[in-house]
Chains A and B, each alone.
Chain A
Amino acid sequence: MVTQNKNLEIERNIGDFAYPETHTHDAGIGLSEKTIHYISDVKSDPDWVREFRLKAYQTFMSKPMPTHWASKDLEAIVFDNIRYYLSGGIQPKRNWEDVPDDVKRTFERLGIPEQERKFLAGVEAQFDSEAVYSNIKKAVGEQGVIFVGSADGLKEHPEIFRKWFGKVIPTGDNKFSALNSAVFSGGSFIYVPPGVKVKHPLQAYFRINAENFGQFERTLIIVDEGAELTYMEGCTAPKFNTATLHSAVVELVAMKGAKIQYITVQNWSNNVFNLVTKRGLAHEEAEVKWIDCNIGSRLTMKYPGVVMKGRKARGEVISIALAGDGQHQDTGAKMVHAADETTSNIISKSISIGTGRATYRGLVHVPKHLKNCKNNTECDALLINSNSRTDTYPAITVRGTGNAVQHEASVSQVSAEQIFYMQQRGLTEAQAMSLSVNGFVNDLVRQFPMEYSVELKRLIELEMEGSVG
């Protein structure tokens, strides 16, 4: 079982390389109850998980594609052609030395071990369906922080896991959350005990290596009272000839006074359908902040949400989307206010280049009998070429007095005069364009941790190359 050996040169898309597959577990092509039993068997699921999966499978089958509002491109996904589970083993290693050579080389080229040494409190690296490496710094582990794969989480910590699993995002939330619930594998389970403030970020890195593959990781993060956590995820895949599906479910629970910051830099190759459901539950005075940056994929549909369940809870989504030729970044945010004095903030900036299309979809909901809730939404779009496209589709419901909701959106261009001005100072047209675009997103990029913001600027520069002229 060897797919084509891709060009191993690291090109402008750093993730575009693949090693031959060496999987020992393969659920085969297509989806049926048999596939689900196979996954459950390989993973030695407890019975309740197997039942959960089978029920989710039924839900998935019964739900129509959301094409009445979403992109028709979804119809290009052929569920029968996808491989739903591939792994070379199910136990992640604690030490990079023990990770199989080709997999280790993959992550070394992506710079993961180096970043871990430099600034991370823990790393999990997922290769196709399973984590191959998972480690947490000793000091962090000693504080009682749990950072394991979802499979270990549900077996080793059922008392916390079961309480929240599938509660923030029910199986039937949408067709793809149902699919994930049926075939999920990999992803992180994190628990931060009360009062523990994890100083450095925990990171997960998701890598698709196999063609025709669907990655369905499932992440559940619970940060207990007064505790704090920053979590970062990155993802890449090689450019295969056929479409790949990534459909994750991420649930966050911030207990009273807790803070969670979840950072994503999505750089899938341009044939990945990236259909992800992400939602956080914020209890009293808790804060959930999504920083979401989408650069890669063919079609991304992702609207990170926060349900503000406790008084004075806060939700925030910072979103940057870069839609290049042939890409559609359909991103946004959902803010559900469910208690008094809750506040939410959405800032979205998108850039459409060439035939790229960036879409913002937002939902803000302030039901009646709530007092002093606030939402502020800003979405700005930048169009680079005359065939670029941008759309904005917010939906805002406010009931009752005492709440203030405000939405503003604008669309602009990089002006020819601006580019000429910079050229006159000696910058090439592409440099000028890249500087303008970086300027456009600058205030948001600054919210990323240093290491990521540098990476982000570089990615934007790469995307802008060849976008003019």
Chain B
Amino acid sequence: MQQLTIENLHVSIGDQEIIRGLTLSVPRGEVHAIMGPNGSGKSTLAKVLAGHPDYTVTAGSVTMDGENLLELAPDVRARKGIFLAFQYPSEIPGVTIANFLRAAVQSRLPEGEELEATDYYAQLYKKMDLLEMDRSFTSRSVNEGFSGGEKKRNEILQMAMLEPKYAVLDETDSGLDIDALKIVSQGVNSLRGPNLGVLLITHYQRLLNYIVPDRVHVMVKGRIELSGGKELALQLEEKGYDWVRDDIAEPALA
């Protein structure tokens, strides 16, 4: 089965357990949203999927198309097809976007094969046009001095260029005004298709007006407490997260 599968995942940082038995599957071709209050562990989940060294997985498994992800170094996972759009992308002074992305694309080619520069730039410019990014962007240092919106657009540009199998978008809507939100959403929607599974992590429902999910999951205190269709997001918007918390006492819906 082609899907990203998380089973009974437990994650700690130091002594503190943040994810406490989380189970979730995202099939390729689908867009799933995870919503949840602050501190529910959403961003931790995103980083753990990408292999951030600060977190310790104490139990459970994560597989991508049947392959165990947790054993792989962050760069190996990335090359195998998992992509994380960071909530707070790092600045890399002196390294231009063009060179950075080129190194990333090159790293996915078989050993000995050199990236064809003209094809690469043709691709890059096409994707940049889609995201309404100026060409001069490519000669700027990665994320250095970028506005919030520019950083997020840069994340989606990289996603477009690297063609992952599964993309985790961590609070991609944060720091975006409505115009930027539309552009970023448009970018993500254009990448939707049978070959891409997306896990959208968001605190607010508004992103889901533009990127309509196939499924919505609600995460509270390190666990998925509720899952449903896209209408669930609207319910949450209306009733707030407390409603889910009260609901937890009831037999689980999902």
Contact = CB atoms under 8 A, between A and B. Distances in A.
Interface of A: 415-418, 420-429, 431-432, 435-436, 438-443
B195 interface: no
Given A421-B90, A423-B75, A427-B104, 4 more contacts: A421-B89, A423-B74, A424-B75, A424-B83
B75 A428 contact: yes
B103 A423 contact: no
B218 to A, nearest CB: 26
B108 A426 contact: yes
B75 A426 contact: yes
A421 B155 CA distance: 11
Interface stretch (B34-42, B92-100, B127-135): B92-100
A251 B183 CA distance: 60
Interface string B97-120: 001110110011000000000000
A415 B78 CA distance: 20
A465 to B, nearest CB: 15
B13 to A, nearest CB: 14
A439 B93 contact: yes
Nearest to A436: B92
B162 A425 contact: yes
A321 B80 CA distance: 37
B86 interface: yes
Contacts of B79: 426
Contacts of B93: 439-440
Given A424-B50, A425-B78, A425-B158, A418 B103 contact: no
B86 A421 contact: yes
Interface centre among A421, A440, A441 (most CB of B within 10 A): A421
B107 A424 contact: no
B103 A435 contact: yes
A277 B99 CA distance: 37
Closest CB pairs A-B (n = 5): A439-B94, A439-B95, A442-B94, A421-B90, A423-B74
B91 A431 contact: no
B84 interface: yes
A420 B92 contact: no
A440 B78 contact: no
B126 interface: no
Given A425-B158, A427-B107, A435 B74 contact: no
Contact of B92 (A423, A424, A435, A441): A435
B206 interface: no
A436 B53 contact: no
Interface of B: 50-53, 73-75, 78-79, 83-84, 86, 89-95, 99-101, 103-104, 107-108, 141, 158, 162
B75 A427 contact: yes
A415 B90 contact: yes
A422 B83 contact: no
Q: Is the interface of B mostly helix, strand, loop or mixed?
A: mixed
Contacts of B53: 416, 420
B94 A440 contact: yes
12 contacts: A420-B74, A421-B86, A422-B100, A422-B104, A423-B51, A424-B74, A425-B78, A425-B101, A425-B162, A428-B73, A439-B92, A442-B95
A425 B53 CA distance: 15
A425 B158 CA distance: 8
Contacts of B52: 420
A176 B103 CA distance: 45
A80 B53 CA distance: 53
Nearest to A440: B94
A427 B101 CA distance: 10
Nearest to A432: B75
B92 A425 contact: no
Given A416-B53, A439-B95, A443-B94, A423 B100 contact: no
A417 B73 CA distance: 15
Nearest to B95: A439
B163 to A, nearest CB: 11
A425 B86 contact: no
B94 A424 contact: no
Contacts of B83: 424
B99 to A, nearest CB: 8
A422 B83 CA distance: 11
Nearest to B77: A424
A412 to B, nearest CB: 9
Contacts of A421: 86, 89-90, 92
A425 B85 CA distance: 10
A432 B75 CA distance: 10
A7 B230 CA distance: 67
A442 B92 CA distance: 12
Nearest to B88: A417
Nearest to B85: A424
Interface centre among A423, A424, A429, A436 (most CB of B within 10 A): A424
A426 B162 contact: yes
A259 B106 CA distance: 41
Given A420-B52, A439-B141, A426 B104 contact: yes
Contact of A435 (B50, B84, B100): B100
Contacts of A415: 90
A283 B50 CA distance: 59
A424 B103 contact: no
Nearest to A428: B75
Contact of B78 (A416, A424, A441, A443): A424
Contact of B95 (A423, A429, A438): A438
Contacts of A426: 75, 78-79, 104, 107-108, 162
Contacts of B50: 420, 424
A435 B74 CA distance: 17
A279 to B, nearest CB: 30
Nearest to B83: A424
A427 B95 contact: no
Interface centre among B89, B94, B141, B162 (most CB of A within 10 A): B94
Nearest to B54: A416
A417 B92 CA distance: 10
A445 to B, nearest CB: 9
A316 B91 CA distance: 30
A252 B11 CA distance: 64
Nearest to B78: A426
B208 to A, nearest CB: 24
Contacts of A425: 75, 78, 100-101, 104, 107, 158, 162
B94 to A, nearest CB: 3
